[in-house]
Amino acid sequence: MSRHRSGRNTSRRDGTAQVAGLPVNKNDEVMLDIIGMTHEGEGVGRVEGFTLFVQGALPGEKIRAKVLKTKKQYGYAKLLKIEQASGDRIAPPCEIYDMCGGCQLQHMDYAAQLAWKRQLVVDNLERIGKLQVAGGRSEDAQTSGIIVRPTLGMAEPWRYRNKAQVPIGDAEGGLVGGFYARGSHRIIDMETCLIQHDENDNVVRQVKEIGRRLGITAYDEETGKGLLRHVVVRVAFVTGEMMVVLVTNGDRIPRKDEWIAEIRRELPAVTSICQNVNTRQTNVIFGDVTRTLWGSDVIYDYIGDVKFAISARSFYQVNPAQTEVLYGKTVEYAGLTGNETVIDAYCGIGTISLFLAQHAKQVYGVEIVPEAIEDARANARLNDMNNVVFEVGASEDVIPNWKEQGITPDVIVVDPPRKGCDARLLETILAMKPEKVVYVSCNPSTLARDLRVLEDGGYRTVEVQPVDMFPHTVHVECVVSLIRE
């Protein structure tokens, strides 16, 4: 049997397990040429054909690395020394970047980040969707195919997040809060985060300090004891209003009135203080019960000319500047003239629906979360928009009912979660036969899979516009224009 095909586990004298027949073993030091980067931002290198993934390495670099772990087909290594650096490498400005898991690409020049994100989209379209991209890597794609535009980035790609969700833990000095360390649930205490709005940093810092003074305990994942699990802060970029949500492991907050008074005194911009109760042993941040401790139940903000009421658990895009870019492109691809009927599947709190309603004759929005639909209806009333109808339910159930009622859309817009569209929704779209489909995606792999289904059902993917909603992370959003052949 060839040594490269053997998958038997053996043991070294130092007690570490290894896979027999591989060119490298755990703790080996190797020289690597980095030939690419994974969708999680890890550098890809090879030793005698065996693939190693290296956190922090960039394409084009020659590095020295230590093998951490091997499997049959691939392994992981730690970057020890950069022998030859990429021209795209920069010094990350964040002091805790090497420890924190919040950003993955701060060591990469921003223009290079944008180019990599576009290529990530192209690779997924070609590899998973088997789609032909203009100027892509396949030989027959040089002159025709789907146009994938350059990624739309930010002029100032820092301090863009309007929402902070900070896990809280205990240390010798009292409460700590920040991001989880890469690949763990160990909390890295953080005073400032360069992708958060400055005020979010300030609020988290003050809430931790007030909690320390009042002797508030932090929730312990292992024991299930302790009170404060997360501090969630929202800031409205346009109105300046702020909301603080204390996520607690139980109903009772010791010294609650003092805590509220201290937050109000130290943080006058805060207009809403809420409590969310989550007693489950889970990684999910929010529990089912939310109550307002002081101030308003919501804060208000704008995307373009549309005003939104945002509650503690509302889904609302975290980068308002790029959200306007994303939605503007959605309206452009929908090609609205004011006479169209539009269906918005996965409408959430109505953000895209209300954007579309400014340019369409009638918009129908559907969402499976009842609270989101309540918010959507409230937001329609807030903006005096009477040409929008919202309904609770699964898109694949509600949209066929609308069809039976004689509602025939000219355009269907989908903005699904990371797992992509439900298969039955794609079948529904193909049965409804709108002239145009606009697909807003936060995951290039499920986007490519769903586009293949729509293409096989009679649609042609015309253009893809990547949008950088989350600079310095590996995430990329896309807006896609499809027309029925």
Residue pLDDT, tens place only, 459-475: 999 999 999 999 999 99
Q: What mean pLDDT value characterizes the chain?
A: 92
How many Å apart are CA 26 and CA 67, to the nearest integer?
A: 5
Half-sphere exposure of 163 (CA within 13 A, CB side): 18
| pLDDT at res. 18 | 60
Class of domain 163-303: mainly beta
pLDDT higher than 70, residue 378: yes
What Cα–Cα distance (Å) separates residue 197 from each residue in 233, 472, 476? 10, 15, 20
Roughly how many angstroms between the first and final C-alpha of the chain, as a whole number?
53
How many Å apart are CA 113 and CA 119, to the nearest integer?
A: 10
Four-CA torsion 106, 110, 113, 117, nearest 10 degrees: 130
- pTM value is 0.91
Residue in the block written with tokens 């804060």? 299
Q: To 5 degrees, how large is the angle CA 272–CA 276–CA 280?
A: 165
Half-sphere exposure of 470 (CA within 13 A, CB side): 16
Q: Which residues contact 314 (CB under 8 A, 6 or more apart)?
A: 298, 349, 372, 375
| pLDDT at res. 186 | 84
pLDDT higher than 60, residue 319: yes
In sequence order, what DSSP letters do the residues of 12-68 get, joined into one string?
A: -TTS-EEETT-S--TT-EEEEEEEEE-TTSEEEEEETTEEEEEET--TT-EEEEEEE
| pLDDT at res. 139 | 46
| pLDDT at res. 442 | 97
Catalytic residues: 442
Q: Which two tokens stand for residue 472?
A: 């310095």
pLDDT higher than 50, residue 1: no
- SS3 state at 154: coil
Give the β-pairing of 289-295 and 270-277.
antiparallel
183: DSSP letter: T
- What average pLDDT does range 123-134 have in this prediction? 97
For the domain 319-484, what is the CATH code? 3.40.50.150
How many Å apart are CA 208 and CA 217, to the nearest integer?
A: 11
| pLDDT at res. 136 | 65
Residue pLDDT, tens place only, 41-69: 999 999 999 999 999 999 999 999 999 99
Residue pLDDT, tens place only, 145-178: 999 999 999 999 999 999 999 999 988 768 999 8
Q: To 5 degrees, how large is the angle CA 296–CA 301–CA 304?
A: 160
pLDDT higher than 90, residue 430: yes
| pLDDT at res. 101 | 81
The CATH superfamily holding the domain 9-84 is: Nucleic acid-binding proteins (2.40.50.140)
Do 163-303 and 319-484 share a fold?
no
- Domain residue limits, the chain: 9-84, 163-303, 319-484
Q: Which two tokens stand for residue 416?
A: 């699904």
**Backbone phi, psi, residue 403, to 5°:** -60, -40
407 in Cβ contact with 401 (< 8 Å): no
How many Å apart are CA 237 and CA 162, to the nearest integer?
A: 7
Residue pLDDT, tens place only, 183-237: 788 888 888 999 999 999 999 999 999 999 999 999 998 899 999 999 999 999 9
Question: Among 343, 322, 324, which Cα is nearest to 471's?
Answer: 322
Single-letter residue type at 393: G
Residue pLDDT, tens place only, 401-422: 999 999 999 999 999 999 999 9
Q: Which two tokens stand for residue 250?
A: 């139980």
What Cα–Cα distance (Å) separates residue 66 from each residue in 23, 31, 32? 14, 9, 10
Strand partners, 343: 364, 412
Longest CA pairwise span in the chain (Å): 76
| pLDDT at res. 311 | 93
pLDDT higher than 60, residue 12: no
Residue pLDDT, tens place only, 341-353: 999 999 999 999 9
